[in-house]
Chains A and B, each alone.
Chain A
Amino acid sequence: SQKIEQNSEALNIQEGKTATLTCNYTNYSPAYLQWYRQDPGRGPVFLLLIRENEKEKRKERLKVTFDTTLKQSLFHITASQPADSATYLCALLSGYSTLTFGKGTMLLVSP
Chain B
Amino acid sequence: EAGVAQSPRYKIIEKRQSVAFWCNPISGHATLYWYQQILGQGPKLLIQFQNNGVVDDSQLPKDRFSAERLKGVDSTLKIQPAKLEDSAVYLCASSPRGTGVGETQYFGPGTRLLVL
Interface residues, chain A, with chain B CB atoms under 8 Å away: 4, 31-32, 34, 41-46, 49, 51, 89, 91, 93, 95-104
A45 touches B107 (CB 8 A): yes
Which B residues touch A32, using CB under 8 A? 102
CA gap between A102 and B105 in the complex, in Å: 15
B109 touches A46 (CB 8 A): no
Across the two chains, which residue of chain A brings its CB closest to B100? A97
B93 within 8 Å of A (CB atoms): yes
Q: How many residues of B contact A (CB 8 A)?
A: 26
CA gap between A51 and B106 in the complex, in Å: 19
B41 touches A103 (CB 8 A): yes
CA gap between A97 and B99 in the complex, in Å: 6
Instruction: Tell me what chain B mostly uses at the interface: helix, strand, loop, or mixed.
Output: loop
B107 touches A44 (CB 8 A): yes
From B42-50, B65-73, B78-86, give the one contacting chain A: B42-50
9 closest A-B pairs by beta carbon, nearest first, are A43-B107, A101-B42, A97-B100, A46-B104, A32-B102, A96-B100, A97-B98, A103-B42, A101-B43
Task: From known contacts A41-B109, A43-B93, infer whether A99 and B102 are also in contact, taking CB-CB under 8 Å.
Answer: no
B100 touches A31 (CB 8 A): yes
Which A residues touch B93, using CB under 8 A? 43
CA gap between A100 and B44 in the complex, in Å: 7
A44 touches B104 (CB 8 A): no
Q: Name the distance in Å between A32's Cβ and chain B's nearest Cβ.
A: 5
Across the two chains, which residue of chain B brings its CB closest to A87? B42
B4 within 8 Å of A (CB atoms): yes
| Cβ-neighbour of A98 out of B40, B41, B48, B109 (below 8 A) | B48
Which A residues touch B91, using CB under 8 A? 43-44
Which A residues touch B4, using CB under 8 A? 43
